[in-house]
Amino acid sequence: MRKPAENVEIFKRRRKKIIEKLNGAALIVAAHPEQVRNDDVHHFYRQDSNMYYLTGFEEPESFLLIRPDQKPETVMFVREKNIERETWDGFRFGPEGTKNEFLIDAVYSIDKFEEKAIELLKGFEEIYYRLFKNPDADARLQKVLTALKRAQGRTGYGLLTIKDADLFLGEFRLKKDEDDLANQRRACQISSDAHVAAMKFVKPGVSERQVQAVISHEFHMNGAARVGYPYIIASGSNATTLHYNFNDQVCKNGDLLLIDAGAEYNYYSGDITRTFPVNGKFSSAQKKVYQGVLNIQKEIIAMIKPGLYFKDLHKIGEDRLTDLMFELGLLCGKKEDAMKANEHRKYYPHGIGHWLGMDVHDAGLYFIKGEPRPIEAGMCFTVEPGLYIPADDKSAPEELRGIGVRIEDNIVVTANGCDNLTVGAPKEIDAIEKLMAQR
Ligand code: GLY
Ligand code: MN
Ligand code: MN
């Protein structure tokens, strides 16, 4: 018998927390569907983040149903045990195993979903469910909801109201507690160590793919199940493509290498970018761009504390990066005019960061009813200013063409400021050069 990957009390605590806020509505979460890659080969399976967040259960074809203050309060529907299928595809907990191992009140076969859900949802006026993520789950729920409506006869009542479960659960996932943070910290630690390993490995002539292998080795040797997003291993002007992931070129003497890679540990993802010279020594042109971006990144991190607005961090980043563009001779004229015309977006087209957690671009709102929200203790996000100068940009000083720099750290907001979870990966010029000198 397999065991759940984590202590299941964690998931029980999370369910308790959300049950208190359901206000009498039921919640239904569907497992992520399996995706066919070709013929009978599937893509690597990863459970839906919300399903894992509330159960720790990693099998497809399953549902969680929560009925606040009812008996049973937590219900799951899972695949039956099937010795033949398990011989091919691996262990299944089955209804009984799931009930015992995952501390769920009642667990039924997935084949009974429609029949049982009709019984279990009777009397509810609202449910939380995320439509359109899993078409098969949507179709099954449609049968349940139409049957419930039909059962009301001509009383005039319609379908149960469906509210967005992802929005509801996103607010819990955004504010991380100690259970969440233990995983988040570990994901960031593993990710930092892998960036260090890459810095020690890189030299002229190695391929981007080999660098990826070094990082991947470090991730898996330290317990990461997978990555939080595709590796970006971008040497030279490849770094000016934001989500470059061909990773098939040779790293050349004199070029920078931008690595954006994050390990996923217990479903929490790191998201670190470091940019460093392939030969271990920044050129003076590279230094000018790199130090400029680094100063801005550090200034923003130093400002973070509860009460600040995330969008203001973005604004400050954009403002400072535009100053840097003028200093470097990338823009000319009046700053105000350049910003109004969005000229700075040519060299810095993305935002300052994003919520970070189980999904690399994590759940949770940035605005509430159109108003920006202040950041709070327990929120995790990235700070990732960058400057990207296309290789064919004739308007840029020649020595800067083809340089792409991004520096990305992962932050958790604390009561009075923030903790940087990715300090393990060096980013000061002298620290990087010193580390690389040891190769
Ligand atoms: N790695 C994707 C991002 O930094 O947002
Ligand atoms: Mn990143
Ligand atoms: Mn990021």
Ligand with minimal distance to 275 CA: 2
- Transcribe 207-242 into DSSP letters: BHHHHHHHHHHHHHHTT--EESS--EEEEGGGGGST
Q: Which of 46, 350, 373, 401 is catalytic?
A: 350
Q: What share of the chain is helix, strand, coil (3-state, %, to 5)?
A: 40, 20, 40
What pLDDT score does 174 carry? 98
Give the ligand 1 atom nearest the CA of 361.
5
- Give the burial class of 262: count Cβ atoms within 10 A of its Cβ; 0-12 exposed, 13-18 middle, 19 or more buried: buried
pLDDT over threshold 80, residue 419:
yes
CB distance 82 to 69 below 8 Å: no
Q: Which of 361, 366, 393, 399 is catalytic?
A: 361
The mean pLDDT of 397-424, rounded to a whole number, is 98
CB burial of 348-379 (b: ≥16 within 10 Å; e: otherwise) equals bebbbbbbbbbbbebbbeeeeeeeebebeebb
What pLDDT score does 155 carry? 74
Measured distance CA(376)–CA(406) in Å, rounded: 26
- Catalytic annotation on 40? yes
pLDDT digits (tens, 9 = 90+) for 34-58: 999 999 899 999 999 999 999 999 9
pLDDT over threshold 90, residue 153:
no
CB distance 223 to 372 below 8 Å: no
- Catalytic annotation on 52? no
Cα(427) to centroid(ligand 3), Å: 16
CB distance 365 to 175 below 8 Å: no
What pLDDT score does 152 carry? 82
- Catalytic annotation on 271? yes
CB distance 383 to 408 below 8 Å: yes
Q: Using the structure block, give the residue that is written with the tokens 């300090």.
A: 423
Q: Smallest Cα–Cα separation from 207: which of 247, 260, 259?
A: 247
pLDDT over threshold 80, residue 284:
yes
pLDDT digits (tens, 9 = 90+) for 20-38: 999 999 999 999 999 999 9
Residue nearest to atom 3 of ligand 1 (CA): 271
Cα(382) to centroid(ligand 3), Å: 6
Q: Using the structure block, give the residue that is written with the tokens 């761009």.
A: 289
pLDDT digits (tens, 9 = 90+) for 115-142: 999 999 999 999 999 999 999 999 999 9
Token duo for residue 320: 């400072």
What pLDDT score does 156 carry? 67
Measured distance CA(176)–CA(185) in Å, rounded: 11
Q: Which of 37, 42, 243, 439 is catalytic?
A: 243
pLDDT digits (tens, 9 = 90+) for 88-102: 999 999 999 999 999
Q: How many CA atoms lie within 13 A of 310 on its CB side?
A: 26
CB distance 263 to 184 below 8 Å: no
Token duo for residue 207: 């391929």
Helix/strand/coil (H/E/C) assignment for every residue in 356-381: CCCCCCCCCCCEECCEECECCCCEEE
Q: CA angle, corner 37, sides to 219 and 89, nearest 5? A: 75
pLDDT over threshold 80, residue 157:
no
Cα(153) to centroid(ligand 1), Å: 51
pLDDT over threshold 90, residue 1:
no
pTM, to two decimals: 0.97
